[in-house]
Amino acid sequence: MSPNAQITSHRKPRRATQSWVVRTGVAGGVLGTLAVTGAAAANAAEKPVESTMEMPAINAALAASITQSAASTHQAAFDYEVQAQQDKAEGEARAEAKKVKDEADRKAEAEKKVAEAKEKEAAQARASRTSDRSELGTKSASADSAGGTEAAGSGSTAGSSATGSAATLVSYLKAQVGKAYVMGSTGPSSFDCSGLVMSAYSQIGIDLPRISQDQSTAGTAVSLDNLQVGDIVYWGAAGSAYHVGVYIGDGQFIGAQNPSTGVVERSLSYSPPTGAVRVM
């Protein structure tokens, strides 16, 4: 008998090995199948996730586009409103400027008319005074001729021989001698040089300009060698004289000299005048 015959389980291990290999193969096949099935399931599960992740990105882009469009629309509306306000302001400014210009033109036209009216009145007044002076001069000349008044040079006509308007003029001037000199005064208690001359001539109805510059051209220019009682003598150039007085005959004149002397009677030789005018 073989030694191995007594070993009852001598071939069983070989069968067990084959069974284990078979079982192992079956198990491997099952596991492989499960693996393939799991992979397929995983792939199938991934696609909905990718689709789900794409949706927020699309929604965000759409929201950004809508927001940008709204902002552009708002900005355009704002710009339009600003432009409209600017156009309105410019229109109002132009209207106001036109209103101001029209008002200025109206005032200028009114002032022009007033100035023209005053100039017309002044021209009529000058013409009237010229006529009155001519008439007064004719009467005075007749009175002087009748009274034997002489026309002479600087000192040849006696003040006491003046008659008519000339006598009235000289009498008034002599009554003012000794009164104060006050710049801008026309009497009755004080005078400046042109104020005294104007006031004296007003006594015989002759209106003279207020200032010495105008008085030096108020009448007809005469030579200092042919003075008559009542002629205005002046110092300085005609039209820009700085001092005036009235010739009263005998080479004398009366004038409001300065604050120190007041109204005085003096000889022409004391301070020879530069010119003279005749207004009566």
Task: Tell me, yes or no, whether 250 lies in a domain.
Answer: yes
Total domain count, the chain: 1
User: Helices marked H in the chain — which ranges?
Assistant: 12-147, 164-176, 193-202, 212-215
Backbone φ and ψ for 5, nearest 5 degrees, come out as: -70, -25
Task: Tell me, yes or no, whether 248 lies in a domain.
Answer: yes
Q: Tell me: the pLDDT tens digits for 231-256?
A: 999 999 999 999 999 999 999 999 99
Q: To 5 degrees, how large is the angle CA 199–CA 186–CA 201? A: 10
Backbone φ and ψ for 27, nearest 5 degrees, come out as: -60, -40
Residue 268 pLDDT greater than 50, yes or no: yes
For 139, the token pair is: 């009467």
Task: Tell me, yes or no, whether 210 lies in a domain.
Answer: yes
Task: Tell me, yes or no, whether 261 lies in a domain.
Answer: yes
CATH code: domain of residue 181 = 3.90.1720.10
Task: Tell me, yes or no, whether 178 lies in a domain.
Answer: yes
> What is the predicted pLDDT for the residue at 112?
80
The mean of the pLDDT values for the chain is 76
> What is the predicted pLDDT for the residue at 109?
81
For the question of whether the overall pTM of this predicted structure is more than 0.85, the answer is no
Residue 236, classified by CB atoms within 10 Å of its CB into exposed (0-12), middle (13-18) or buried (19+), is middle
Helix, coil or strand: residue 245? strand
Please give the average per-residue pLDDT across 1-16, as a whole number: 51
Instruction: Provide, rounded to the nearest whole percent, the portion of the chain with pLDDT above 70.
Output: 64
Task: Tell me, yes or no, whether 186 lies in a domain.
Answer: yes
Q: Tell me: the pLDDT tens digits for 32-52?
A: 555 555 554 455 445 554 545
Task: Tell me, yes or no, whether 112 lies in a domain.
Answer: no
Q: How far apart are CA 213 and CA 92, in angstroms?
A: 52
Q: How far apart are CA 18 and CA 168, in angstroms?
A: 178
Q: Which range of residues forms the domain containing residue 248? A: 148-278
Q: 188 or 40, which is more confident? A: 188
Q: Tell me: the pLDDT tens digits for 45-79?
A: 455 545 455 566 667 777 777 777 777 787 888 87
Task: Tell me, yes or no, whether 126 lies in a domain.
Answer: no
